[in-house]
Structure 1
Amino acid sequence: MSATLNAGRTRAALRTSARVSAELLLVLLAAAVVLWLLGRMWPVVWPLVVGLLLTTLTWPPTRFLRRRGLAPAVAASLVTVLSLLVAAGTVALIAVPVASESGRLGDGVVEGVQKLREWAAGPPLNIDDAQIADAFDTATSRLQDSAGSIATTAVTGVSTVFSGVVTAVLALFLMFFFLKDGPRFLPWLRRQLPGRLATDVPVVVERCWLTLGSFVRSQALVGLIDAVLIGLGLWILDVPLVLPLAVLTFVSAFVPIIGALFAGLVAVLIALVSNGLMDALLVLVIIVVVQQLEGNVFQPMIQSRGLGLHAAVVLLAVTLGGSLAGIVGSLLAVPVAALIAVVWNYLREQLTDPPAEPAADGSPT
């Protein structure tokens, strides 16, 4: 009798495991189909995502203007124009000082190349001018042989830049319409959905919206910390163009990995051509230390607190997103993880049984 009972339990456990495995496979298949559809629709999805992120950043001033009695279209137009002016001012803040220092930087580059040749000619390398000339000729011939691939890369780069401009324009128009008509979306959505979905879906959408806003604010705070710390180090070392480099550091913080590498490379090169090798190495050390603090301390702490995610989850999400989709995956990994957590928490709230209420006589119901 006991053996028969154990065999029955074993078969029931196997059936349960098989059913759960089949359901999990169906969920994974549905996720794969959704990801495939997103990939096919990416030229439309990417401007929509960028527009939503920009809207979370510009909605507070729009809401302030609307509460002061401005019409939605007027408030959205003012904020959109102001955003364009801020973006143009940021570019000018970087470009104008760089243009004014271009002569000094050019002289520094020439002087740096000359110092590099003098250093290579001495011990322990002992490379003479003839060897340098041969190396230059070899490099020139290789460039000529690979002219076709270079041209292809240049065309690809131009196409990428053009695609980026189109994405930015579409995202800007979408941001305007989101700012103008955003508050109407949830009432419209409630009218379109049947039954309980008319209650559940708007609540989840509203929570996701608040989570996206928290992500953008936390990312801006991380970029501000990077800009202040790196700018302070550059100012102490008397590196030129401190303010443009600090602004570049802040802006590049919104582009994971590549943004930090680009801003750090620019700062090190300017320190090299203006202050010399030792200051360039010190700038490199400062940037590496700040970036390590950002990636391992500031960003996980700030984002985990603002998004309700553990710091380890933030780190794992960025790593997984980068391995799956590169730079875009790293950029979207944290907000996607936060949105998944929002949906999961809401489902858990709805599926959790409410606590039992005591009866009138004091005994549990």
Structure 2
Amino acid sequence: MLGWVFGKLWVVLLPVILGLLFATVLWPPTRFLRRHGWPPALAAAVVLLAFLGLLGGLIAVIAPQVADQVTELADQAADGLEQVQQWLQGPPFNLDQEQIGRYVDQAINSVQSNASNIAGYAATGATAVGNGLLNLLLALLLAFFFIKDGPRWVPWLAAQTGPRAAPHVAALSQKTWSTLSEFIKQQALVGFVDALFIGIGLWIFDVPLVIPLAVLTFFGAFIPIIGAFVAGAFAVLIALVDEGFTVALIIFGIVLLVQQIEGNVLQPIIQGRGFNLHSAVVILAVTAGSSLAGIIGAFLSVPVAALIAVVYRYTRDVFDGRHPEVAGDGTHTRVSGDDEGAVLTRASGTPG
């Protein structure tokens, strides 16, 4: 029933969730400014504008490179198709020109027969892009209010839940926020390491679109396992089109080596400080999220799974009599949040 309700309210929940993820990134600099006497609204506005400026600068750096090199890559792709055609004409396939032409004609006829479906997919894609931009705008607006008024949330929520539930609500709110923050920090570190070393490998072998591929690798890290695979496949494909099979094989080896070091060395070290989900759970979560909500679902699947795990573990500990976030006398819990100090929420529901 909860799944059905969330599905109906997804258009509202998605900007909220994205806004929370943005807030985890924007809160540390906002907290720094507030500690130095900046008003909450001004600190939140300055940090948000700086964040937008950083994204705009990144796009300004990437776009000219893609525009300059995409034509060259298209020409090289055409040359690559001609090489594939010549390869098919030799052993072991031994296809003649007429057979290859017939297969190409069949492919063209198939595309033409499905032209209406393709147009529908294009229209759906354009609608999805428009909805994505709208959700992004709403998420940024919500992130502004989250980082401006966020420290007031836990005392207010605890005051609405009554004296028995207030300590647990405050503790669980802090644990879920810490989990989201830890996820962003972990995946940003993993993405930076992957992008740095894979980008160096691409630069050494003179593969084009180094910066766009490095940025794609960085953001691919936020979709664990699947994102790294897709980003690595793009890097290998570009290397194959531009530099040939040998360089593509070397880039494949570099990508594989970096991902093995990340998965077997870096991930265990950084995940020891935060939540820990088994790789099978991560794969199932990404698969379920992508099938339910596409790319956005794949991106949000792991943090949502981690939050579910946090709620489950906390509830299990409460039933077992173990809830260290709540004081031994059951009267209060200390929750870190506001920059003026920790927020003390009493069991009576009154913010301390």
1:123–1:317 Cα change, 3 Å: closer
How far residue 72 of structure 1 moved from its aligned partner, in angstroms, is 0.8
Task: Say yes or no: does 1:349 pair with 2:306.
Answer: no
Q: Deviations over 1:182-218 (max 9, x none)?
A: 1111222233232132333112212321222111101
How far residue 345 of structure 1 moved from its aligned partner, in angstroms, is 4.3
Q: Deviations over 1:273-319 (max 9, x none)?
A: 2111221122223323433444455335422x12243xxx3323313
Pairwise mapping of residues 200-219 of structure 1 onto structure 2 (< 5 A)?
200-219=168-187
Distance, in Å, in 1 between the alignment partners of 2:122 and 2:99 is 31
Partner of 1:334: 306
Distance, in Å, in 2 between the alignment partners of 1:200 and 1:38 is 23
- Conservation of the 8 A alpha-carbon contact between 2:34 and 2:43: yes
Q: Secondary structure at the match of 1:266?
A: helix
Uncovered stretches (5+) of structure 2, i.e. residues with no partner: 291-297, 330-352
Partner of 2:286: 322
- Conservation of the 8 A alpha-carbon contact between 1:223 and 1:251: yes
Distance, in Å, in 1 between the alignment partners of 2:301 and 2:269 is 20
Task: Say yes or no: does 1:169 pair with 2:137.
Answer: yes
Q: Which moved more, 1:256-265 or 1:117-126?
A: 256-265
How far residue 104 of structure 1 moved from its aligned partner, in angstroms, is 2.8
Partner of 1:269: 237
Partner of 2:273: 306
Partner of 2:45: 77
1:296–1:87 Cα change, 3 Å: same
Q: Secondary structure at the match of 1:260?
A: helix
Q: Give TM-score scaled by structure 2 length.
A: 0.81
- Conservation of the 8 A alpha-carbon contact between 1:94 and 1:248: no
Q: Which moved more, 1:170-179 or 1:111-120?
A: 111-120
Distance, in Å, in 1 between the alignment partners of 2:264 and 2:174 is 30
Uncovered stretches (5+) of structure 1, i.e. residues with no partner: 1-32, 356-365
Of 7, 11, 19, the match for 1:51: 19
User: For the aligned residues, what is the CA RMSD?
Assistant: 2.7
Identity %: 43
The total of aligned residue pairs comes to 319
Structure of greater relative contact order (alpha carbons < 8 Å, 6+ residues apart) = 2
Partner of 2:341: none
Partner of 2:118: 150
Q: Secondary structure at the match of 2:278?
A: helix
Partner of 1:285: 253
Task: Say yes or no: does 1:246 pair with 2:246.
Answer: no
Distance, in Å, in 2 between the alignment partners of 1:319 and 1:130 is 45
Partner of 2:332: none
Q: Deviations over 1:49-74 (max 9, x none)?
A: 11111111110000011111111111
1:341–1:94 Cα change, 3 Å: farther
Distance, in Å, in 1 between the alignment partners of 2:117 and 2:260 is 36
Partner of 1:88: 56
One-letter amino acid matched to 2:306: V
Q: Give TM-score scaled by structure 1 length.
A: 0.78
Q: Which moved more, 1:327-336 or 1:50-59?
A: 327-336
Partner of 1:196: 164
